[in-house]
Amino acid sequence: MIFDEMQLEELDDIPEPDLEQAITAAYRTPAYLSDMATTVVAEADGQVVGVAFGYPDKNEDAVDEVLAEVTADNDAFGSAFEAEAESYEHEWYLDSIAVDPAYQGHGIGGKLLAALPEYARAAGQKRIGLNVDMANPGAKKLYDRHDYETVGIKPIGDHMYFHMQYELDKDLVMA
């Protein structure tokens, strides 16, 4: 689970089933299912094998508020989880991407990344941004292969992240 990898101190004492329940509840809200955010799903053999979730930077507070609301209602959290700001201005932010371990190395992550420009453009954005843990060179290589460029460094929880961006129309030449 991505939250485990982030090693967020405020989630250390939350049992994994409660964390999964809160995340599932957030994904089922009208806000997450509307134009506020986008979930792209990859399927194989009739099963979900990969997921990408993102939104325009201007929606980050509203997306985070949903998670705060569902965690406030869960006794295991004690109080609402307050997510740190992760996006840069003027980007469609890829909040999370995950591929079933049994399907990693088969191009699923790349296909999910290839689907994102359509959603970013539809949201009026000209770039896609993401954060990748400095301790995860395999993920960074995936983004490098797909022409994402490191534009900054961002601390999240106890980890340092590369902030990377993909310019949607960098090869577009105006005549």
Give the tokens for residue 160.
């340092």
Q: Which of 3, 9, 61, 12 shows the shortest CA–CA distance to 36?
A: 61
pLDDT tens, 121-151? 999 999 999 999 999 999 999 999 999 999 9
Residues 67-90 have a mean pLDDT of 76
Residue 159 has pLDDT above 50, yes or no: yes
Backbone angles phi, psi at 83, to 5 degrees: -75, 145
Q: Tell me, what's the pLDDT at 1?
A: 38
- The superfamily in CATH containing domain 2-128 is Gcn5-related N-acetyltransferase (GNAT) (3.40.630.30)
Q: Tell me, what's the pLDDT at 2?
A: 41
In angstroms, the CA 64 to CA 131 distance is: 16
Residue 93 · residue 37 · CB < 8 Å: no
Q: Please, which residues bridge with residue 52 across strands?
A: 40, 97
Helix axes 16-27, 60-72, angle to 10 degrees: 130
pTM of the model as a whole: 0.81
Residue 29 has pLDDT above 60, yes or no: yes
Residue 151 · residue 164 · CB < 8 Å: yes
Q: Which is more confident, 107 or 73?
A: 107
Q: Tell me, what's the pLDDT at 166?
A: 98
Determine which of 62-66, 80-84, 87-91, 104-108 has the lowest per-residue pLDDT on average: 80-84
Residue 91 · residue 129 · CB < 8 Å: yes
What are the residue boundaries of the structural domains of the chain, listed by start? 2-128
SS3 of the chain: the string is CHHHHHCCHHHCCCCHHHHHHHHHHHHCCHHHHCCCCEEEEEEECCEEEEEEEEEEHHHHHHHHHHHHHHHHCCCCCCCCCCCCCCCCCCCEEEEEEEECHHHCCCCHHHHHHHHHHHHHHHCCCCEEEEEEECCCHHHHHHHHHCCCEEEEEEEECCEEEEEEEEECCCCCCCC
